[in-house]
Structure 1
Amino acid sequence: MSVSLDQSIRLDGQFYQTLKKEKRYNWETSQCIENTVKSLVEEHTSANRPGMLLGKVQSGKTRTFLGVMGLAYDNGYDLVIILTKGTNALARQTYVRVHQEFASHIEDDYMRVFDIMGLPDNLRKWERRQKLAFIVKKETKNMDRLKQTLFEKYPALSSKRILFIDDEADFASVAYQKNTEANIQEMRVISGKIDELRKVLTSTSYLQVTATPYSLYLQPEERRIHENKVFQPVRPAFTELVPVHDQYVGGEMYFEKSKDDDHLASYLFHEVDDRELEVMKKLDRRRLKLNELLYQKNITNIRQAFVNFIVGSSIRRWQQRKNGDRMKKYSFMIHTERGKMAHAWQEELLNRMDAQLKESAQNDDPIFRELIEDSYKDLIGSVSKVDGPKPSFQEIFYEVRKAVLEEHVVSSVVNSEKDVNELLDHTGQLQLRAPMNVFIGGQILDRGITIGNLIGFFYGRNPKSFQQDTVLQHSRMYGARPLEDVAVTRFYTTRSIYDVMERIHEFDTELRESFERGGHEQGVVFIQKDPMEEIIPCSPNKILLSNIRMLKPHKRMLPIGFQTGYKTHIQKTINQVTKQLEKWRVSAVKHKGEAFLIPVEAASEILAQIYQTIEMEHGYEWNLEDYQSMLHYLSNEHESKEKGYVWIVMRHGRQIKRLDQNGRFESSPDTPGNGQGELAVARNVATHVPALILLHQQGKKEQGWRGAPFWWPILVAPKETKTAVYASKTV
């Protein structure tokens, strides 16, 4: 958390002043850099208790930590060791970036930058007296070479003041791994080697740089939940937030603004059927006819994604030419599988599709015009939301036809270090060879490699295996993006994956906001249900993000994406719920306006009965046990006279349609908090314990239901809720 900076560090040194002038840091970035160095100078940091520079995915973290380097040099640090993820491509990219950032200092012989594996054997004293930067991959050979350099080859370096910067660090997964036999956490090899180094170095500081919301440091010093069960976490020495720049596009765009039908973000997400991901795994001639790729229904989304990428790139290049700007090259990423055979098949699929598009364009086949027209209709809707020239269909049809015939599209598989190295440009980024570049790959593309001008992302990794750091590293569509590019961007994934990513965004946002409001002092609680059906603390690095729910003041939680059971099957249960509610309304222990208070056990039983009356659609989930657990937790967390109870807000005669005007499942059956609606009533009474809104829907067939009345429950967390992460499952 940023604090006002006094003059305990030097701000007028040549490194920092030159960087400020050349890189034009704004006030927020300068404050972040200065506060970080001030804390490094004043705080004791170590590999187990590091300083933390917390940013968002592709939000300018590198630029900020390079500023920290410069200011650290001005304040007595002589050597900066940058630890990168274990790929040659990322090490090279970091090396090039450091050279670019400090070009004038290197040219004036104030500084030297080395990849540790390329460090000269005859480094002279004149060179060693300059400020030094070592780029070190987090792998055994690099770490051993670093140790040899500091203690055998050039032992004088070990007495210098050293700053370790651990780039793309994940506190939960880098430092620890699970020992399944002993069921304990043990230090990983690399983290152990770092710690060994630091024990014998005389003057060091340690800074981790990450976007991963692992948040061990957000835990309170000691958290007691119910029967004397205590979780004592480990936290960094300090944390600074990297400011988000104006052009940053992240989770807010994909998961918040996307809910506004009038915003261009509402066009971004395209839902992919799980069965289509099966087609992407391997060639199955029973499912796919390779000579009819432009027609087949079971590859609708990958075909649409491919055509939309070509059309979107064509729209942007047309706009740039119209404005007299240089035309840019664009990229599209496919990340559904880890296996090389799957990547080879996906490349073949796209190459065949490209060839068939070219053939249909040459022959003036109606399918070519039909595909381009469908894509244009999809994209022009969001393009129209942004200021700038808007091409007609005919103009774009001509652009696309030219792009296809002149082979503007190139597909590349990237699934090994060799592939990456062959595709990198001189700056260490993936080279955009043609106007339209498709990259097909897996894990290798997650490791910080920069992919420029990404406007299409087809994603299909299994959300059931997502842990804390995984998904954000996969979110390559985040970063600095002009709105004109966002307008032609499309994100293709399954509903279940999208929902997981939305939870991660909510998680990440809440943790960041917790810092901004000083919440790191109170902590964010991580909880789970144990085998004895009690809520207990749990360790954040065990959390699977596919199974989390954020609990925070007045949050609403409800089932979405369902159909009712048939009337003959559910009518008796619905009538029972109605009778029970009326009975409790009359005999409630307390009334507050129209709301009434009932025991949490009774509310939990009502939820169980309602659960029997609805059927969740594919890709959607309503976990009854989780809702009951959260209900009990929220009802018992606060010490008040209402402890163990739940407020009920009940309404009858509702006629909500199953789908909204855009064909999406309705997600807001409760009326807005305008002072009169049930949501406002619920939030008014839910101070110490939760409220459960129960809406009796008529469920008419003309509204998309099955002609059966039903109850729709919405759980509202109390105002006094302490921010918590509820994990239904852990690893």
Structure 2
Amino acid sequence: MTYFQSYFDRIWSAGNLELATTIRKTVEDVVPKYISNFSFTEHVVSLLVGDIQSGKTSHMFGLMCAAADEGFMNFILLTTDNVLLQKQTLERAKRDLCDFCVCDESDYLKFCSNNLRKPCVIVLKKNSSVLKTWRGNLASTGLCTGNPLFIVDDEADAASLNTLVNKKEQSTINNCLEAIKKTTSSSIYMQVTGTPQSIFLQTKKSGWRPYFVYYFKPGRGYIGGDFFFKDPPPPSVVFTDQEEADSLLEDDEFPENGLKKALITHLITSAQIMLTGGIVCNFLIHPSFQTKEHSLFANKIGNYLNEIYHSHAQPETKEAFKREYQSLSTTKRNILSFEVLYGFIVKLVQEEKVRVLVLNSKVSFEENTDYVHGVNIIVGGNSLSRGVTFPQLQTIYYCRVAKSPQADTMWQHARMFGYDRDPELLRLFLPPNLFKLFSDINRTNNSIIRQIERGDNGSDIKIIYPCGLKPTRGNVLDKKGVSVYSGGVNYFPFYPVNRDLIALDKLLEAFPDGNYSINLKLVNKLLDQVSSETSDDWNVMAFKGFVNTFIAQNPSSQA
């Protein structure tokens, strides 16, 4: 039996039929075209794109098993520089890749003693010390030089790219990864991410622009951006005051506000889930990237819970819960009676079974990661993004926008996406300006996906955002190789070239003087007939690329 068939059968036997089917499709789409035809004499960079928390790891493992069937024996699986995440990935690899020799960062002797008898995967953090050690390990053994290396870089847009590109230097992690590739005569470097903006904006000269790109669709039951960010906003979205974050921290009273409503919603949702057989319900509060605010918000939640503890019998408190119960009743079918839920909530609060956990760089992850059971409220910032999964996350509260928001970073914070949510009980609390930002990002993400599906290996992806929203961090983009165009601005070539005046006149003869709305496909035909003496002056292919992006979104788009 092949490695892939064995992996597929384990997923199928576990009852994950749809997941197994989608993984097989990914393998059948990618392997014959790109891996089976690998020359074993070159270094190829590729990109696997999947939605946030949509099952990318399962697809990664499927492709690794299929690559083993094609003769790849040495694999490296890279994680972000986080001890907990590396350990989680290692344990999952041991569980799911049981036909492989799975090595930890300290398992050099295990790697050598395996001696290519079984495919071997080494799970490493993107940490300079770890990478340098394994670069030396790989170079010192005779197991790598003549054999291809298959590197899977999970969250490849984080830390892997060269952050010193505009200084004509190379960042440490980027240099280490390049050095690891050079320990062997050939390799496939598979970048994996749900936010590929920075990767698509790499130049070919950088060596990190993908040769081929594949997007896999999420399975049935996945809740993503289209669930929340649409027009008009769905009932699952609850708008809060634009300035609520500041007023909350200044006011010591117990006022009506979005945070209080979110807490009450979480308690009602938790009661419904726990009383109907569930084992966990989580509430995520993302107030700011500043760690000092995390403890302030955690204290505020503690005060609210204390107030509920002392005032649960008062009519005002009960009425506040009834309002949120009515709101949830509009979307949740067969919700339990208010009295049953309220009685459970009072008991939860009185027995202090509602846990408030703070997750950030100042707090130990090991001490605050027990959010897989019970009723939990998690407060944090940037530490709540890449690789961190919260089971049964039903209530989410955001209140701040960064001064210079970046689309990929913001989208990585969207922990509300995933499979194990009850869509009828989901609630996202946020101010209108943040909802608009997320909606803009979601719209562009959908455009990127359509371009991947319709284009040629992602070679001409155009990324369009409104003014004030950056696609990614600027230090990984080569300023000389990335062009930025602003909407509402006229761009004229200094050295125009008309390729065929007769053809141009024929295209325009139906339009006498005046203003007209025309299909964007006609705009492309017009652009085919004009150019500039130098692409640095006026790059017609760039403009055509943007036009094609709008066409991908809506084939009947007008100009």
Q: Please, what TM-score do these two structures have when normalized by structure 1? A: 0.62
Q: Is the 8 A contact 2:144 2:183 kept in 1?
A: no
The residue number in structure 1 matching 2:270 is 313
Counterpart in the other structure of 1:478: 417
Please give the residue correspondences for 1:504-653 in structure 2 after superposition, counting only pairs within 5 Å: 504-518=441-455, 523-525=460-462, 542=474, 628-629=488-489, 640-641=507-508, 647=515
**CA distance in 2: counterparts of 1:498 and 1:16, whole angstroms:** 42
Matches within 5 A, 1:399-548: 399-416=344-361, 419-424=364-369, 430-433=370-373, 435-482=374-421, 485-518=422-455, 523-525=460-462, 542=474
Supply the AA of the counterpart residue of 2:451: S
Distance in 1 (alpha carbons) for counterparts of 2:25 and 2:284: 36
Q: Aligned AA for 2:261?
A: Q
Partner amino acid for 1:214?
Answer: Q
Kept after mapping to 2: 8 A contact 1:214/1:541: no
What's the CA shift for 1:130?
Answer: 2.8
Distance in 1 between the 2:207 and 2:142 partners?
37
Name the aligned partner's letter for residue 381 of structure 1: T
Deviation digits for residues 100-127 of structure 1 (CA, Å, limit 9, x no counterpart): 1124x3xxxxx321221x3255766356
Q: Distance in 2 between matches of 1:529 and 1:122?
A: 51
CA RMSD of aligned residues (A): 3.9
Q: What residue identity is the alignment partner of 1:197?
A: I
Change (3 A) 1:210 1:45: farther
| Counterpart residue number, 1:166 | 153
> Which residue among 83, 95, 119 is the counterpart of 1:131?
119
Shift of the 79–521 alpha-carbon distance from structure 1 to 2, 3 Å rule, reads closer
SS of residue in 1 equivalent to 2:324: helix
User: Normalising by the residue count of structure 2, what TM-score does the alignment of the two structures yield?
Assistant: 0.80
Say if 1:43 and 1:237, in contact at 8 Å, map to a contact too: no
1:89 aligns with 2:84: yes
Letter in 2 for 1:271: F
Letter in 2 for 1:189: T
Measured after TM superposition, the shift of residue 689 of structure 1 is 6.2
Residues of 1 paired with 2:41 and 2:232: CA distance?
43
CA spacing shift, 1:75–1:512, aligned 2, 3 Å: same
Q: Give the deviation of 1:501 after TM superposition.
A: 1.1
* Residue 244 of structure 1 pairs with residue 241 of structure 2: no
| 1:177 partner SS | coil
1:512 partner letter: I
Aligned to 2:251: 288
The one-character-per-residue Cα deviations of 1:528-566 (angstroms, maximum 9, x if unpaired) are 999xxxxxxx9987599xxxxxxxxxxxxxxxxxxxxxx
Instruction: Please list every run of 5 or more consecutive structure 2 residues that lacks an aligned counterpart in the other structure.
Output: 13-18, 477-484, 499-503, 525-543, 552-559
Task: Give 1:627 deviation, angstroms.
Answer: 5.8
Rounded Cα–Cα distance in structure 1 between residues aligned with 2:40 and 2:51? 23
> How much has 1:21 moved relative to structure 2?
0.9
Letter in 2 for 1:139: N
* Greater CA drift, 62-71 or 454-463: 454-463
Residues 168-201 of structure 1 show CA distances to partners (whole Å, capped at 9, x for unaligned) of 1118x7313256xxx5565322111111222231
Q: Find the aligned partners of 2:211 and 2:41 in 1 and give their Cα distance.
A: 9
1:61 to 33, 51, 56: 56
Q: What per-residue deviation string (whole Å, max 9, x for no partner) do you get for residues 177-227 of structure 1?
A: 256xxx556532211111122223123221111111317549999xxxxxx
Say yes or no: does 1:338 pair with 2:312: no
Q: CA deviation at 1:274?
A: 3.0
Q: Is the CA contact 1:216–1:233 (under 8 Å) kept in the aligned structure 2?
A: no
Q: Aligned letter for 1:351?
A: G
Give the SS at the match of 1:487: helix
Tell me the alpha carbon deviations over residues 658-683 of structure 1, each in whole angstroms, 9 at most, x when there is no partner: xxxxxxxxxxxxxxxxxxxxxxxx6x
Give the number of equivalent residue pairs.
505
* Higher normalized contact order (CA 8 Å, seq sep 6+, divided by chain length): 2
Instruction: Give the match for residue 151 of structure 1.
Output: 139
Percent identity, please: 22
Q: Does 1:383 align with 2:351?
A: no
- 8 Å contact kept, 1:33–1:65: no
Instruction: Give the whole-Å Cα distance in 2 for the aligned partners of 1:358 and 1:373.
Output: 16
Task: Please report how far the alpha carbon of residue 156 of structure 1 lies from its aligned counterpart in structure 2 after TM superposition.
Answer: 3.1
Q: Please, which of 317, 322, 325 is the counterpart of residue 368 of structure 1?
A: 317
Q: Matched residue of 1:432: which SS?
A: coil
Aligned partners of 1:334 and 1:466: how far apart in 2?
Answer: 18
One-letter code aligned to 1:507: T
Contact kept, 8 Å, 2:397 with 2:430, in 1: the verdict is: yes
Could you tell me how far apart the structure 2 residues matched to 1:529 and 1:340 are?
Answer: 29
**Which residue does the alignment assign to 1:549?**
none
State the structure with more CA Rg.
1
Contact 1:59 / 1:479 at 8 angstroms: preserved in 2?
Answer: yes
Q: Which residue of 1 aligns with 2:178?
A: 195
**Structure 2 counterpart of 1:34, which letter?**
E
The alignment partner of 1:419 has SS state of: coil
- Taking the aligned partners of 2:363 and 2:429, their CA distance within structure 1 comes to 28
Measure the CA separation in 2 of the matches of 1:350 and 1:514.
44
2:187 is aligned to 204
Alpha-carbon shift at residue 302 of structure 1 (Å): 0.7
Gaps in structure 1 of 5+ consecutive residues: 1-11, 106-110, 222-230, 261-265, 321-325, 425-429, 531-537, 545-624, 649-681, 691-717, 726-731
CA displacement at 1:466 relative to structure 2: 2.2
Is 1:722–2:528 an aligned residue pair?
Answer: no
Name the structure 2 match of 1:102: 97
User: What are the within-5 Å matches in structure 2 for residues 6-85 of structure 1?
Assistant: 13=2, 15-24=3-12, 25-38=19-32, 39-43=34-38, 50-85=45-80
Q: Residues 521 and 161 (structure 1 numbering): CA distance in 2 closer, same or farther, change over 3 Å? A: closer
What residue number does 1:394 align with? 339
Shift in CA distance, 369/190, structure 1 to aligned 2, threshold 3 Å: same
Question: Deviation at 1:452?
Answer: 0.9
Alignment match, 1:112: 101
Measure the CA separation in 1 of the matches of 2:61 and 2:473.
28
One-letter code aligned to 2:251: L
Q: Which range moves more in the overlay, 233-242 or 244-253?
A: 233-242
Cα distance in 2, alignment partners of residues 543 and 529 from structure 1: 20
Secondary structure of the 1:243 match is coil
Cα distance in 1 for partners of 2:302, 2:512 equals 62
Residue number in structure 2 paired with 1:270:
238
